A and B are shown apart, each in its own frame.
Chain A
Amino acid sequence: MQDLLAARSQMAVSLGFHIIFASIGMAMPFLMAISHYRWIRTGETVYLDLTKAWSRGVAIFFATGAVSGTALSFELGLLWPKFMEHAGPIIGMPFSWEGTAFFLEAIALGLFLYGWNRLSPWVHWGVGLTVGITGVLSGIFVVCANAWMNSPAGFDWVDGQALNIDPVRAMFNPGWKTQTLHMTLAAFEATGFAVGGIHALLLLRRPASALHREAFKIALLIGSIAALLQPLSGDRLAKGTAQRQPAKLAAMEAHFHTENGASLILGGIPDLQEKRVRYAVKLPTLLSFLAHGDFHAQVKGLEDFPEKDWPPVLIVHTAFQAMVGAGSALAALGLAFLVLSLRRSRLLLHRRFLLAAALATPLGFLALEAGWVVTEVGRQPWIIYGIMRTAEAVTPMPGLVYPFLLFTAVYFFLAAVVSWLMLRHIRAADREFPSASSAEPAGSGSPLPEGSHA
């Protein structure tokens, strides 16, 4: 395996793994805060049980996310030292703020997880909410740095050196707003539907369970709102991409020929030799509208760029289709959920609806991973768009295939262990919490303290 490809693959595996844990770390604290709030307000034990059941799962996800994130902060240097040497001073600023936010998050999480008997209820609740807020801030700061790689700003590039560095302008680069919004919504959407889907599955097996019913409603509420907002944020992001990274947009759409009133292409397989897309559905003039807000606007095709500057079209196009497809399905499901909820319809807990939600469990994360493939692969061959090529940034150390295989093995092993732990966790929660199997929780007996079960 070629060193550059090995390095890119290691980065892809590491990011692809980490992003799942990071997203859950961003969104779950808010789901817990809703449940926790209801417990303090109503005193119904189902909410206490739910908060505790969720928090034990989150502890596992957070720790895994923290260590895989640490690995990433080193891997940036291990794999791309030339990139970090130049980018560090320019785009280090959001990372320095991320360090603060992440630190506060770790402190707040320790207080939250172990604070049940030591903090007053509202302080404890506030601490839990702080985990979520600092988690979202961490995510935003990191994505600011990624946005800079897509739309570099805040320096002058003179003879391979960055001069006149302005870290503030670099952090608030033209892409930061749209990209951070899209990612934050994605985290809530993916987590909401994944968690809601799992509880829907459990509800199908135990329809009387109050815990799973409340969990399902809270998770899908968050997921649905995010899923309905996501197309709007995606539209903003696509317009920005059309302006700043026309080659990426062309690859997303497999749009080969520059034209006015360009068609939107759904599905299909791009044929690079013939420069056309086979088996695709074409919606006339829609791409021009989506990219520039005008049905007759000109959309640049890949032919306008030298072929050595093309991103891998097949991957980017397919990933983009997968993201939009999964996102649309979730938006439809989310709309149905919100309508049914507002009408307080009993259909909300109908087997068919629960089945649909259960089937949608992986879709949010599928869309999220596909979206990152679009962003990262779509930026190729550049590591800093238009400034530095990925091939120039890679470490000179030979034999990169070995670290790639090592990290891949570690992450697949960890993914398997975490999945297995979640299964055990769900089974144990069913035994431990009465509200997991019965409709009306018995009394308000105080649940078992941390760690005393089994």
Chain B
Amino acid sequence: MPEIPAGGSAMLWVVILFLGVSLLLYCLLAGADFGAGILEIFMGRENRRAQRDIIDRALGPVWEANHMWLILMVVILFMGFPLVYSSVSTYLHLPLTAMLIGIIARGCSFTFRHYDAVKGRSQRSYTLFFIYSSVWTPFWLGVVTGALVPGGIDPAARGYLEGYVWPWLRPFPLALGAFTVCLFAFLAAVYLIGESPPGALRRRFARRAAIASSVAVAAGGLVFWAAERDGVDLAARFMGSGAAAACVVAATFIMPVLWAVLGQQWGWAARMLAGSQVTLILGAWFVVQFPILVKMGNGRDLTFFNAHAPEATLDQLGIALIVGAVLILPALFFLLRVFKSSESPASGGH
């Protein structure tokens, strides 16, 4: 593990914090937007229209704002950690391109579905694009993230496959892709309970959330299995760190509580619990990875401390992020208050 230099610049820590928070909020907010699209696959025949309307209303006003956390991460990476941005975008060109196509397809098909002036046959095409790009995009996001871990990225690699395909076409990234899809579907399933009116529909969403949570746990198991296959001693690393182990234990103990809450169909309580679980999982992940951003095949890992931009740049980035947060957070809060509290049907619990 690389050394953590004592007393790095304060702004570096601000930037690291914002990177972590952006990733977390992207998963919690935009992730659920993708998840809603995934869930549309499993809507069944009955009440299809009503379920789709709920998803439409839930995503419509917020998905573009939620998407912005990804932009923020990209900006932080290329301004604050330029070597990370350039290495990742060079060697993970293919999965990143796949993800971008998904982002374009998802955003456009969702908007077209809502704003097409004629609600006719074309709705079916938009929906097809929307649901499959909602699965496709988080899968590749997971693959890209996973490819940073096993050390497959190697600037010394010769040949197309060695340089640009094997770094991500291997067990761990693929498993993380699958897990990301399941995790986002789980979040959406839980959030949508609070968006639906009490009654049959709500019961149905709650039941689906319980199923989704089980699937997410299974997919999590798959990640650990794939990690071992890929030479990543993930289980040992999680257990080796007190903080990470505590996060995992806490996330596990939340499970039965969440199931009980799902049984009661308490929208807000379920949201808080599911959100905490994802936060704990990401937190544990951050702890075991820290300070490595990209594990490199040539042994020269890129870390928060060896790949950052010069001080002057970090200062400006930190200032922009802090001022940005002061402007964005109240606006975001206002947006969520306007659309997620007043009219959303009686949310139990809180």
Residues of A75-122 whose CB lies within 8 A of B:
75-78, 81-82, 84-86, 88-90, 92-93, 95-100, 102-104, 106-111, 113-115, 118-119
A interface secondary structure, majority: helix
Partner of B93, one of A114, A168, A395: A395
- B338 near A73 with CB under 8 A, answer no
B interface secondary structure, majority: helix
From B118, which residue of chain A is reached at the shortest CB distance?
A424
Known: A84-B89, A88-B85, A118-B338. Is A104-B327 also a contact (CB below 8 A)?
yes
The yes or no answer to B75 lying at the interface (CB within 8 A) is yes
The yes or no answer to A63 lying at the interface (CB within 8 A) is yes
Known: A74-B74, A102-B68, A106-B65. Is A167-B312 also a contact (CB below 8 A)?
yes
**B-facing mask of A156-178, CB < 8 A → 1, else 0?**
00000000011110000000000
How many pairs of residues, A versus B, come closer than 8 Å at their CB atoms?
216
Report the bound CA distance from A92 to B80 in whole Å. 8
The yes or no answer to A428 lying at the interface (CB within 8 A) is yes
The yes or no answer to A403 lying at the interface (CB within 8 A) is yes
- B310 near A165 with CB under 8 A, answer yes
The yes or no answer to B116 lying at the interface (CB within 8 A) is yes
Report the bound CA distance from A60 to B111 in whole Å. 6
Q: Within 8 Å CB of A308, what residues of B?
A: none
User: What is the minimal beta-carbon distance from B143 to any residue of chain A, in angstroms?
Assistant: 15
Report the bound CA distance from A353 to B96 in whole Å. 49
- B65 near A107 with CB under 8 A, answer yes
- A64 near B320 with CB under 8 A, answer no
The yes or no answer to B201 lying at the interface (CB within 8 A) is no
- A77 near B78 with CB under 8 A, answer yes
Q: Within 8 Å CB of B86, what residues of A?
A: 77, 81-82, 84-85, 88
Q: Within 8 Å CB of B78, what residues of A?
A: 76-77, 84, 88, 92, 95
Q: Within 8 Å CB of B106, what residues of A?
A: 67
Interface size for B (C-beta < 8 A) is 66
- A396 near B90 with CB under 8 A, answer yes
- A107 near B331 with CB under 8 A, answer yes
Known pairs A103-B65, A410-B104; list 19 more (Cβ under 8 Å): A59-B115, A67-B107, A70-B100, A71-B100, A74-B89, A77-B88, A77-B89, A84-B86, A88-B86, A89-B313, A92-B80, A95-B79, A96-B324, A99-B72, A106-B64, A110-B60, A119-B338, A414-B108, A425-B115
Closest 8 CB pairs of A and B: A92-B79, A77-B89, A428-B117, A100-B324, A88-B82, A89-B309, A63-B111, A96-B320
Instruction: Please give the residue numbers on chain A whose beta carbons come within 8 Å of chain B beta carbons, in ascending order.
Output: 56, 59-60, 62-64, 66-71, 73-78, 81-82, 84-86, 88-90, 92-93, 95-100, 102-104, 106-111, 113-115, 118-119, 165-168, 395-399, 403, 406, 410, 414, 417, 421, 424-425, 427-429, 451, 453-454
